[in-house]
Amino acid sequence: MAKCVNFLYLFVFFGCFAPFSQAQLKFGFYAQSCPSAESIVRSVVSDAVRNDGNMAAVLLRLHFHDCFVEGCDGSILIDTAPNPEKGAFGHQGVGGFEVIERAKEELESQCPGVVSCADIVAMAARDAIVMANGPEYEVLTGRRDGRVSDVSLADSLPDVSDSIQVLKNKFGQKGMTDKDLVLLSAAHTIGTTACFFMTRRLYNFFPGGGSDPEINPMMLPELKSQCPRNGNVNTRLGMDRGSPRTFDIHILQNIRNGFAVLASDARLNDDPSTRAVMDSYFSPLAPILGPSFQDDFVNSIVRMGEIGAKTGSQGEIRRVCSAFNSR
């Protein structure tokens, strides 16, 4: 596996993107305070993914959903608030909470009050990607856990039915670029979705009914057989047709060819900017002179991990990830 952090990357990240966040995150934040932190999280994630092959995708999605509401501060993990964020419509199907809690329990036994739940989420996503044959990379750490979790704060989450302009705007509001939108959407290379999220695209795409015309005619009958009208909306299907458990560029090829499962992925074809990003990975010279999909994905997910990060005296280090500390 390629090691995606190099001197050029570090120069670009800290030189060009420093204004993106006020957070003082750094590599190896726990090197002195809890040297075993990353190995503990890695061990817990490895066990979880071995027991459930879909868990890699679940933990990656959890990181995204945490960061896009109130920043990467573990707010999605809270159960005890009056109206916790995890109950938001846009968070439906998000899971992996028990894996994060298990890692937290082990960390508390080794380094009590040191490692934040927000950092565990970020590390777990990285380790999950590696378990799915994706790139290995270093995680910036030093986040603290937020003290706010409210369902109303999740209203601006990206949605599968959003237009490409809405998706671009939502990412832009978080300081993310059109390229980040493409690359983080490519995280759908692993995992499944529920038929619940397919109903509109397959049967009610237009006011009078009908399917999304961008669905490749070869795939439409397949999707309808997996998600029949009035069928079980909880049935799961892979988001990357052909390789739903391997982290690879196949998802972008599917999207370009009309084989996107999710409507929001298909919308990447609707805009010249996002389409050009996808095309850049498939030009004849791409294998030699073109951009690296895996390196670019790493850049985007590390950038995403800085969104709204709380550091220093902000927030807290929770003792239990699902509950704020009592004051």
pLDDT(291) > 90: no
Residues 14, 10: Cα–Cα separation, whole Å: 6
Task: Say how many C-beta atoms besides its own lie within 10 A of residue 131's C-beta.
Answer: 21
**How much is the average pLDDT of 189-216?**
95
Mean pLDDT of the chain: 91
Cα dihedral: 36, 38, 44, 49 (round 10)? -150
Judge whether 47 is annotated as a binding position: no
Judge whether 189 is annotated as a binding position: yes
* pLDDT grade for 10, boundaries at 50, 70 and 90: very low
pLDDT(13) > 70: no
- Lowest-pLDDT range, 12-16, 33-37, 42-46, 69-73? 12-16
Res 288: pLDDT: 76
Judge whether 188 is annotated as a binding position: yes
Between the CA of residue 101 and those of 89, 255, 289, 320, what are the distances in Å? Answer: 23, 35, 43, 7
**How much is the average pLDDT of 80-109?**
96
**How much is the average pLDDT of 244-255?**
96
**How much is the average pLDDT of 72-81?**
96
Judge whether 150 is annotated as a binding position: no
- The alpha carbons of the chain give a radius of gyration, in whole angstroms, of 19
Res 11: pLDDT: 30
Res 47: pLDDT: 98
Judge whether 66 is annotated as a binding position: yes
Q: Over 26-77, what HEC string results?
A: EECCCCCCCCCHHHHHHHHHHHHHHHCCCHHHHHHHHHHHHHCCCCCCCHHH
- pLDDT tens-place string over residues 293-322: 999 999 999 999 999 999 999 999 999 999
Judge whether 158 is annotated as a binding position: yes
pLDDT(173) > 90: yes
Indicate which residue of 63, 65, 91, 250 is catalytic.
65
Res 9: pLDDT: 34
Res 64: pLDDT: 98
pLDDT(232) > 90: yes
pLDDT(7) > 60: no
Res 186: pLDDT: 98
**Between 211 and 20, residue with greater pLDDT:** 211
Tell which residue, 301, 318, 321, 261, has the closest CA to residue 113.
318
Res 1: pLDDT: 41
Judge whether 136 is annotated as a binding position: no
pLDDT(159) > 70: yes
Res 4: pLDDT: 41
Cα dihedral: 39, 42, 48, 49 (round 10)? -150
Q: 């994706």: which residue's tokens?
A: 134
Q: Which two tokens stand for residue 204?
A: 């009610």
250 is annotated as an active-site residue = no
Share of the chain above pLDDT 90, in %: 87
